[in-house]
């Protein structure tokens, strides 16, 4: 007889939604969670601002629902995810970004795949819903947040936008998100920690979520830069800055070749502008790193 996931005590799952902006997308995220085929044990809405305002909106919109609004002590996705991890009372903790809506079987697919393969971290597939604007088309093509149509054990990393964590497994290993990562890379870092601890991760395209975000060109280029800024060592020296210039030129060229051969001619000017944009941003990172190094040297001299 097939086991009923909803009645299985070991399958109880808490879901959290980190809210980091004044967009009301998070209400649609919560609505999609209330429609899940597996009813969440609790929904945590983790907020970094306007706690009272959001608490009032949720209390009015979703009365008598098992939704708890939690205020974080400082901003940032890493800290918000850790807050949910610490507040979780169930074996499984699922995360859904506040600009995403989940399909009805999203939780069921994540939990089933995780349990079948003894996974400690598992992610699903995100699909873009808006791509008429050039900026949104760029995000859909070059900032995909999925690994395709096939299931994978131990993917490169698990995207933070939708995932489930076996809380008991990561707590035993003392694994948490790095709260120094405010807006990105916390998911990559967390995935690497899970793998290094000897635990398994996975990806299933059958757990589907849909991205509601739409943004302008500056926003999407900043997003692309932020996704890659920690991929290599920060440019804290002139030679590392030159190296990072090369990596950004390579990225823009790679995008250009892909768009050219795929006949996405609208995106080609964006690919070249991206190189200039990213190099300017990287130079600013270099300038912010340099004073830190100088102050560290000054401290060592004063100690001597």
Cβ neighbors of 28 (< 8 A, separation 6 or more) are 101, 212
Domain boundaries, the chain: 5-211, 232-295
User: What percent of the chain has a predicted confidence (pLDDT) above 90?
Assistant: 78
What would the pLDDT profile of 131-188 be if each residue is shown by its tens digit? 999 999 999 999 999 999 999 999 999 999 999 999 999 999 999 999 989 888 999 9
What would the pLDDT profile of 97-129 be if each residue is shown by its tens digit? 999 999 999 999 999 999 999 999 999 999 999
d(Cα 89, Cα 181) in Å, to the nearest integer?
Answer: 25
Q: What global pTM score does this model have?
A: 0.87
Q: Is the pLDDT of residue 49 over 90?
A: no
pLDDT at position 190 is 97
d(Cα 119, Cα 126) in Å, to the nearest integer?
Answer: 20
Chain mean position to CA 64? 29
Topology (CATH) of 5-211? Spore Coat Polysaccharide Biosynthesis Protein SpsA; Chain A (3.90.550)
Beta-bridge partner residues of 203: 123, 152
pLDDT at position 8 is 59
d(Cα 193, Cα 197) in Å, to the nearest integer?
Answer: 6
Average pLDDT over residues 233-249: 94
Helix crossing, 25-34 with 51-61: angle to 10°?
40
User: What percent of the chain has a predicted confidence (pLDDT) above 70?
Assistant: 91
pLDDT at position 106 is 98
d(Cα 215, Cα 172) in Å, to the nearest integer?
Answer: 40
pLDDT at position 65 is 85
The dihedral built from the CA positions of residue 160, 22, 222 and 292, taken in this order, carries a sign that is negative
What would the pLDDT profile of 6-39 be if each residue is shown by its tens digit? 545 556 999 999 997 667 889 999 999 999 999 9
pLDDT at position 20 is 79
Burial per residue of 154-182, b for 16 or more beta-carbon CB atoms within 10 angstroms, e otherwise: bbebbbbbbbbbbbebbeeeebebbbebb
pLDDT at position 296 is 45
Average pLDDT over residues 42-49: 92
The answer to whether 78 and 18 are in contact (CB under 8 A) is no
d(Cα 231, Cα 23) in Å, to the nearest integer?
Answer: 29
DSSP annotation string for the chain: ----GGG-GGG-EEEEEEE-SS-THHHHHHHHHHT-SSPPSEEEEEESS-HHHHHHHHHHHSTTS-EEEEE-SS-SHHHHHHHHHHH--SSEEEEE-TTEEE-TTHHHHHHHHHHHHT-SEEEEEEEES--SSHHHHHHHHHS-----SS-EES-S---TTEEEEEHHHHHHTT----TT-SSSSHHHHHHHHHHHTT--EEEEEEEEEEE-----HHHHHHHHHHHHTTSS----SHHHHHHHHHHHHHHHHHHHHHHHHTT-GGGHHHHHHHHHHHHHHHHHHHHHHHHHHHHHHHHHHHH-
């Amino acid at each position: 007889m097939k086991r009923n996931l909803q009645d299985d005590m070991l399958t109880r799952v808490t879901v959290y939604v980190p809210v980091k902006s004044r967009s009301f997308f998070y209400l649609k995220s919560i609505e999609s969670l209330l429609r899940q085929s597996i009813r969440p044990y609790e929904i945590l809405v983790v907020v970094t601002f306007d706690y009272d305002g959001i608490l009032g909106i949720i209390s009015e919109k979703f009365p008598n629902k098992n939704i708890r609004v939690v205020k974080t002590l400082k901003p940032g996705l890493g800290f918000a995810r850790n807050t949910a991890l610490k507040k979780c009372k169930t074996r499984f903790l699922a995360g859904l970004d506040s600009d995403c809506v989940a399909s009805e079987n999203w939780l069921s697919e994540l939990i089933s795949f995780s349990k079948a393969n003894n996974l400690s971290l598992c992610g699903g597939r995100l699909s873009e819903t808006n791509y008429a604007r050039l900026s949104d088309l760029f995000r859909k093509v070059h900032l995909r947040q999925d690994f395709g149509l096939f299931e994978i054990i131990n993917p490169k990393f698990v995207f933070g936008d939708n995932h489930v964590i076996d809380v008991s497994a990561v707590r035993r290993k003392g694994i948490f998100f790095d709260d120094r990562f405010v807006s990105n890379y916390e998911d990559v870092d967390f995935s690497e920690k899970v793998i290094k601890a000897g635990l398994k991760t996975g990806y299933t395209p059958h757990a589907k979520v849909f991205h509601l975000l739409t943004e302008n060109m500056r926003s999407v280029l900043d997003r692309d830069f932020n996704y890659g800024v920690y991929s290599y060592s920060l440019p804290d020296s002139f030679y590392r800055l030159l190296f990072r210039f090369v990596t950004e030129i390579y990225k823009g060229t790679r995008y250009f070749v892909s768009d050219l051969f795929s006949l996405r001619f609208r995106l080609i000017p964006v690919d070249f502008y991206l190189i200039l944009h990213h190099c300017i941003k990287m130079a600013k990172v270099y300038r912010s790193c340099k004073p830190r190094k100088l102050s560290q040297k000054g401290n060592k001299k004063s100690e001597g």
